[in-house]
Chains A and B, each alone.
Chain A
Amino acid sequence: MQNKMTARNVEVHYGDKMALDGINLDIPQHQILALIGASGCGKSTFLRCLNRMNDEISGCRVSGEIFLDDENIYAPKIDPVLVRARIGMVFQKPNPFPKSIFDNIAFGPRINRITESEAELRDIVHYALERVGMMDEVKDRLQESATGLSGGQQQRICIARALAIAPEVLLMDEPCSALDPIATTRIEELLEVLSSDYTIVIVTHSMHQAARISQRSAFFHLGELIEVGATDKIFTKPDDQRTENYITGRFG
């Protein structure tokens, strides 16, 4: 199995406080990797390292190396804006722009000047909506505001928005935590379909979700990566006592 991304000795500080300590993690291509662990253990921090969103947090310092294919995205010559265009991100709370559905999805292609032609732009938007299975739902109201949609629909618009610039990797930070069970199921089904074309890293606080959708799981604890492996194995016979405690609900 080929690795799409690789983290080597990643260390993160917020000011003087260490949030991640020497993380080494491989992210295989076209799979779903789940990041699990108690609140505050550094899952979101690690996810933000993967597309250099931490650059935007003042006081946050990242050291170590993270490779996308064979390129270190923390190398000095790398433009973080380009990294973020190649690695899409979906956030915990659905965050559509207060604009039309169409403009939301067209934003990425527009600012990255992916196409000059309106027709092509429309194709891109339609394709993205198809991919998240929303074309039928919204095809008659593409010009309506995206903020008027339900939470689940908004989150799928956000996924479509990320897909519109054809990222290689999709990062998701608890994408279902603000959604009801039915909307959650739809997103989970969607992720399974997408995983054949995209490499997906998802933070989740739901054991069940991790078990249902991911091939591999990584358990974080107090800023350290304790254990990573096939999801089946992590959930049935973890190597580390702390993993087992977390899985069985003894803390967190």
Chain B
Amino acid sequence: MRQHYTAIIAKSLQARHRRERGLKYLGLISILFGFAFLLILLGNIASNGLSALWQSHIQLEVTVPADAVLDEHGAISEDMVFETNWNGIVQKSLRTEFPDAKGMRARRAVGKLVSANAGFWLKEKILANPELLDSPQKFWFKTSDEVDQYIKGHMDISVPESDRRLSDQQLAWADTLVEQGLLERHFNTTFFTQADSREPESAGILGAVVGSAMAMLVTLVLALPLAVMSAIYLEYFAKPGRMTDFIEVNINNLAAVPSIVFGLLGLTVFLNFFNMPRSAPLVGGMVLSLMTLPTIIIAARASIRAVPPSIRDAALGLGASKMQAALDHVLPMAMPGILTGTIIGMAQALGESAPLLMIGMVAFVVDVPAAITDPATALPVQIYIWSDSAERAFYEKASLAILFLVAFLILMNMAAVLLRRRFERHH
């Protein structure tokens, strides 16, 4: 009689279990590594960017004379508003805080403490509230970005004075204001309500966010239906043959094309040939939809193929046309996969800047776009513009914008997961 193999199997089992444990730990370690890098990256960006949520303000008492705004009949006169030196009013008030600053240079140095846009802000405030005219009013004015960075501790004061953006005297003035309680950090609402600006303290991401949202909407509206119809066609209608193979190969090629090439295409076709508006989210969305199309088509084909053929057979067997079988039964069951692919494609598109640079969405735009044909930037392009600026304050804002972009992407990916779960529960 042959011996049993139990002993041999048991022995080999030990070795197999050992190997399995080894692989398990290896996998765990690589995941931890990935997480650690992600945390370091995000932590670094956060430590650079979160301070942009606050902005230093100086409290000043100003009196705006009525004749700065009103004509002899007491009505607001645009001419007079235009003639008024609003910055001068702010500067005058600021100089009363530092009476010992004499001479042209010292006075100009004092003026550098507040934002160059302080006068503009004051004008808007007064026009909205004319009752504040002719009486002393206390306002919080934004500091210049240099003072703001100094207050936040982002300025290296060990650097020789001549290489710094603020002199020792200016730093001392700022310190005095802080001691007097006249210089405070307030929440930076501007960052969320404004578009780009030359002055970092007046710059916000709203313009870029709206630009991105518009471009994404255009991308979704164009790419999703096109991709789904292409996928259905390729799966159910295309006769296998050279033509279909050719199309299939080229869809995969399209997915591998560097994104800047799509930008070039957008530039030559949409802008130069069709004369569509430059810097517009409409064109940006069109370019991004070309880029996203293959991703969605590939995902849609995979999910259509994953639908059990028995469901399609059932529909066809009841006299459904191919289109009815596809739309009524296959598509709903493939939808979670298609939407997941769509969201992933959209997330890629959202983070894309190169093709948008090519079609001019890199312009300096100070207005929040109101229509998809208005000039606009997009979030990643705004980040690119800001991180390329000389001012430290823009760098801080770029970091905060990156945090927002990442948060957006995480949200989108979570939506993809949740969506898939919900559909899975339904079926």
A residues adjacent to B (C-beta < 8 A): 51, 53, 56, 58-59, 81-82, 84-86, 88-89, 91, 93, 95-98, 107-108, 111-112, 147, 158, 161-162, 165
Contacts and interface: CB of A to CB of B under 8 A. Distances in A.
Interface in B211-263: 239-240
B318 A88 contact: yes
Contact of A91 (B314, B319, B333): B314
Contacts of A56: 313, 316, 322
Given A59-B240, A97-B329, A51 B317 contact: yes
Contacts of A58: 239-240
A93 B309 CA distance: 11
B329 A95 contact: no
A93 to B, nearest CB: 6
B318 A84 contact: yes
A88 B239 CA distance: 26
A60 B137 CA distance: 88
Contacts of B315: 97, 107, 111
Given A84-B319, A165-B319, A95 B427 contact: no
Given A88-B317, A95-B311, 16 more contacts: A58-B239, A58-B240, A81-B321, A85-B318, A89-B313, A91-B314, A98-B311, A107-B318, A107-B320, A111-B318, A112-B318, A112-B319, A147-B427, A161-B318, A162-B318, A165-B319
A88 B318 CA distance: 6
Contacts of B310: 91, 93, 95
A161 B316 CA distance: 12
Nearest to A59: B240
Nearest to B324: A111
A98 B333 contact: yes
Interface in B298-333: 308, 310-311, 313-322, 324, 328-329, 333
Nearest to A110: B328
A107 B329 CA distance: 11
- List the 3 shortest-distance A-B pairs measured between CB atoms, nearest first: A85-B319, A89-B317, A95-B310
Interface residues of B, number: 21
Contacts of A88: 317-318
30 contacts: A53-B313, A53-B316, A53-B317, A56-B313, A58-B239, A59-B240, A81-B319, A81-B320, A84-B316, A84-B317, A84-B318, A88-B317, A89-B313, A89-B317, A91-B313, A91-B314, A91-B317, A93-B310, A95-B314, A97-B311, A98-B333, A107-B320, A107-B328, A108-B318, A108-B319, A111-B318, A111-B320, A111-B328, A147-B427, A161-B314
Centre residue among B315, B316, B426 by max chain A CB count within 10 A: B316
A242 to B, nearest CB: 31
Chief secondary structure at chain B's binding surface? helix
B42 to A, nearest CB: 40
Nearest to A55: B316
Interface of B: 239-240, 308, 310-311, 313-322, 324, 328-329, 333, 426-427
A98 B427 contact: yes
Nearest to B427: A98
Contacts of A82: 319
Contacts of B316: 53, 56, 84
Contacts of B313: 53, 56, 89, 91, 95
Contacts of A89: 313, 317
B306 to A, nearest CB: 14
Contacts of A91: 310, 313-314, 317
A99 B320 CA distance: 16
Contacts of B329: 97
Nearest to A51: B317
Contacts of B319: 81-82, 84-86, 108, 111-112, 165
Nearest to B236: A56
A86 B319 CA distance: 8
Contacts of A86: 319
Contacts of A161: 314, 318
Contacts of A147: 427
Nearest to A93: B310
A160 B153 CA distance: 77
Given A84-B319, A108-B319, A112-B319, A97 B314 contact: yes
Q: Which of B315, B316, B319 has the most CB of A within 10 A?
A: B319
Contact of B308 (A95, A112, A158, A165): A95
A93 B310 CA distance: 8
A92 to B, nearest CB: 9
Contacts of A93: 310
B332 to A, nearest CB: 8
A112 B317 CA distance: 12
A124 to B, nearest CB: 13
Residue among A82, A88, A108, A161 with the most chain B CB within 10 A? A108
A89 B319 CA distance: 10
A89 to B, nearest CB: 4
A228 B308 CA distance: 34
A93 B427 CA distance: 17
A88 to B, nearest CB: 7
A148 to B, nearest CB: 11
Nearest to A161: B318
Contacts of A59: 240
A59 B427 CA distance: 32
A85 B315 CA distance: 10
B248 to A, nearest CB: 14
Contacts of B427: 98, 147
Nearest to A87: B317
A99 to B, nearest CB: 9
A91 B316 CA distance: 12
A147 B324 CA distance: 21
A58 B316 CA distance: 15
B146 to A, nearest CB: 64
Contacts of B328: 107, 111
A142 B372 CA distance: 48
A84 B308 CA distance: 20
Max chain B C-beta neighbours (<10 A), residue from A59, A89, A97: A97
A59 B239 CA distance: 10
